[in-house]
Amino acid sequence: MKALCFFLLLPVAVFCNDVAAPPPQPPPSTPSPSPNTTTPNPNTTTSTTTTLAPNATTTTTVAPTTTTTTTTVAPNTTTTSTTTVAPNTTTTSTTPVAPNTTTVGPVTTPSPNTTTPAPAPSPTPMPQPAAGSWSVRNNASDVTCVIVNMAIRINVTYSKADNKTGFAVLNIPKEATSNGTCGNETQTLRLEWPHGTDKNYSNVLEMVFEKNETEKKFVVHNINLTLSVNPDDFPNATQSVTNLTFFHNHNLFATSLTRSYRCMKSQEVDLFKKNSNETVGVLTVSKVQLEAFHETNSTDFGAIEDCERSTDIVPITVGCALVGLVAVVLIGYLVGRRRSQARGYLSM
């Protein structure tokens, strides 16, 4: 057996020593495996195994007298591409959830369905009285003795059927008719106007003027007012009362003769019941200009004495007196000083 092996190896050794062996050929390139992309199922592990075909071995046999080329091929290589998929990982995103809280807003108790009744309409206020112009003429002498311009409002109380006190407000219309008397010592102006819905009621205001020869003045000496009780002006009045009478017996509007009295501001004149000093009404007059004992046939007023100016007479008089007193004292001081200085020079 040993002889046989030696015999077989001897020609090969001789051949290798005589002929240089060709350079070894590089192994055939191994084709790159195509990418095997597999989307793994979340619950599945995917394993990809690629087996290359076995490398072919080429053997060239040369006769003993011929050069023999032996190519040793690398052993079959099996390339296994193993893709290890990460184990099934369940990613749990834990978000702290707020406790199941129900936020309840403030409890609002609905207000009861209340309907506020509309307020009762207030009575229409009485409009301001309009100023009227009235005069009294002496037909015998063709002289206008009394001239009056004024706006007049009447506020009086009365007894109601339910034993309560009522209040009546009336304006004397500027259309009231006028008449009167023209005496030497006393003169009168009488205003009359119908009232009520049917105009069957008549109201009367009378102003009495007196002359004071000593002071050369005239005054309104007396005012008499008679009102007819009617349902329009005196609602629910006592049925037994048909007329209400008021009066004022104090001097008013003192004015120099041949002059007229004027006062634009409102003035209130108290009204009393007959034989009583209890005030039961007010006569409000404004825009007043009047003159009595007028001695011409014209209706033009004489020179004006204004009530606002007459109120300034007293303070003006007092002021003038004080100024005069100061002047007298100052003059006396200067005179005394001069005399003292003169005496001083004489003594030297």
**CA distance linking residue 263 with residue 290, whole number of Å:** 9
For residue 18, being part of any structural domain is answered with no
- Residue with the larger pLDDT of the pair 126 and 300: 300
| pLDDT for the residue 18 | 44
CA angle in degrees (0–180, nearest 5) for 228-234-236: 125
The domain total for the chain is: 1
pLDDT of residue 240: 81
pLDDT tier for residue 345 given thresholds of 50, 70 and 90? low
* Domain presence at residue 198: yes
Return the pLDDT at 88.
47
Give me the residue label for tokens 């609905």.
Answer: 110
Give residue 176's domain range: 132-312
Predicted confidence at residue 292, as pLDDT, reads: 96
Residue 159 within any structural domain of the chain:
yes
Establish if 51 belongs to a structural domain.
no
- Provide the whole-model pTM: 0.55
Query: Residue 28's pLDDT is what?
Result: 47
Cα 55 to Cα 27, 72, 74, 122, 312: the distances in Å are 9, 11, 8, 122, 146
Q: Which of 298, 269, 258, 276 is nearest to 137 (CA)?
A: 298
The chain-wide mean pLDDT, for the chain, equals: 72
User: CA–CA separation, 257 vs 236, rounded Å?
Assistant: 47
* 328, part of any domain: no
Q: Inform me whether the pLDDT recorded for 242 exceeds 90.
A: no
Q: Which of 59-63, 68-72, 320-324, 344-348 has the highest mean pLDDT?
A: 320-324
Residue 109 lies in a domain: no
User: 23 pLDDT exceeds 50?
Assistant: no
Is-contact 262 307, C-beta < 8 A? Answer: yes
C-alpha span between 301 and 106 (Å, rounded):
79
DSSP state, residue 280: E
Amino acid letter, 204: V
* Predicted pLDDT at 198: 62
CATH of the domain at 193: 2.40.160.110
Q: In the prediction, which pLDDT does 196 show? A: 63
Instruction: Quick: pLDDT tens for 310-343.
Output: 445 556 667 888 888 888 888 888 888 777 776 6
How does residue 13 score in pLDDT terms, banded at 50, 70 and 90? very low
Residue 237 lies in a domain: yes
Q: Rounded to whole angstroms, how far apart are CA atoms 13 and 64?
A: 12
Angle CA 99–105–106, to nearest 5? 140
pLDDT digits (tens, 9 = 90+) for 184-202: 999 999 999 987 666 667 8
List CB contacts of 281: < 8 A, sequence separation 6 or more: 154, 155, 156, 157, 225, 246, 270, 271
Q: Is residue 258 part of a domain?
A: yes
pLDDT interval class at 211 (50, 70, 90): very high
pLDDT tens profile 124-168 = 677 889 999 999 999 888 899 999 999 999 999 999 988 899 999
Q: Which of 179, 164, 258 is nearest to 211 (CA)?
A: 258
